[in-house]
Amino acid sequence: MLSKSQIKLITGLHQKKYRKEHKLFFAEGIKVVQELLNSGFTLHHLYTEPGYFNNIPHAKYTEVTEAELKKVSALTTVQHCLALFEIPEEPIAAATGLIVALDDVRDPGNLGTIIRLCDWFGIETLVCSEQCVDVYNPKVVQATMGSISRVNVVYTDLVKYLADTALPVFGTFMDGDTIYKETLPAEGVIVLGNEANGISEAVEKLCTRRIAIPRFGNLQQTESLNVATAAAIILSEFRRG
């Protein structure tokens, strides 16, 4: 049974300001919630239809109906459970290894997909400009499929971060050198730009290497690639050696 104050709390967490205020976010669906439970996030409270979870402390466990879940869900189709987790302290941005940096990526699905890609390709740190969509946005959390627990996402002044790094900074531009012919190092920062506008001018100035994904179509009319698919191709190319 969901109380009025619980409904108010959870629906509030759809918004970033209340997530910040309460230091809580939520995830939905057995698979994602189970991954987050297994991965070191601290459970605040689990709301679930009966029979899906064992071993949750009584004080953090409430059985609810599908109709109740619908009242608080961010999904079109509710998925048996919704769990609130504590937002951990923000990690420190790494200064070594291969790092991905996002310059104003706004779409929750894109951020979620990029986090999954970082996880797949063993990239531990994702640096986000302060204008990027919030990683604890419910749509981002769902799109990560649990990878959110294995990638450190750091929000910072991206221009300052790039100005300070000793690593080479790779930016993707139409006139860049083809990634298929470049020798790509094991350490560096890979910058990906905004969905509509690409990499901003201030960030572009700090890119030390300009790269490009070659296009193979005959007509050469193709739109630029979606930022998440571009990320997939670039990360694959960096890691394949």
- Between 11 and 226, CB nearer to a copy of itself: 226
Q: Which is nearer to a copy of itself, 158 or 212 (CB)?
A: 212
**Using CB under 8 A, which of 70, 122, 164, 202 touches a copy of itself?**
122
- Residue 171: CB partners within 8 Å, gap ≥ 6? 191, 193, 199, 203, 204, 207, 209, 210, 211
Position 117 contacts a copy of itself (CB under 8 A): yes
Q: To the nearest whole angstrom, how small is the minimum distance from the Cβ of residue 234 to a copy of itself?
A: 9
> Given candidates 120, 152, 182, 209, which one binds a copy of itself under the rule CB under 8 A?
120
User: What residues between 160 and 219 interact with a copy of itself by CB under 8 A?
Assistant: 180, 213-219
CA dihedral 32, 37, 40, 42 (to 10 degrees): 110
Rounded alpha-carbon distances, angstroms, from residue 161 to 98, 165, 224: 15, 6, 27
Residue 109 binding a copy of itself, by CB under 8 A: yes
Q: How far is the CB of 216 from a copy of itself (least distance, A)?
A: 4
Cβ of residue 191: shortest distance to a copy of itself, in angstroms? 18
Q: Which of 147, 165, 172, 194 binds a copy of itself (CB under 8 A)?
A: 147
Q: Which residues in the 49-108 window bind a copy of itself by CB under 8 A?
A: none
Q: To the nearest whole angstrom, how small is the minimum distance from the Cβ of residue 219 to a copy of itself?
A: 6
Q: Say whether residue 239 binds a copy of itself (CB under 8 A).
A: yes
Instruction: Report the interface residues with a copy of itself, using CB under 8 A.
Output: 35, 109, 113, 116-117, 119-122, 145-147, 150, 180, 213-219, 221-223, 225-226, 228-233, 236-237, 239-241
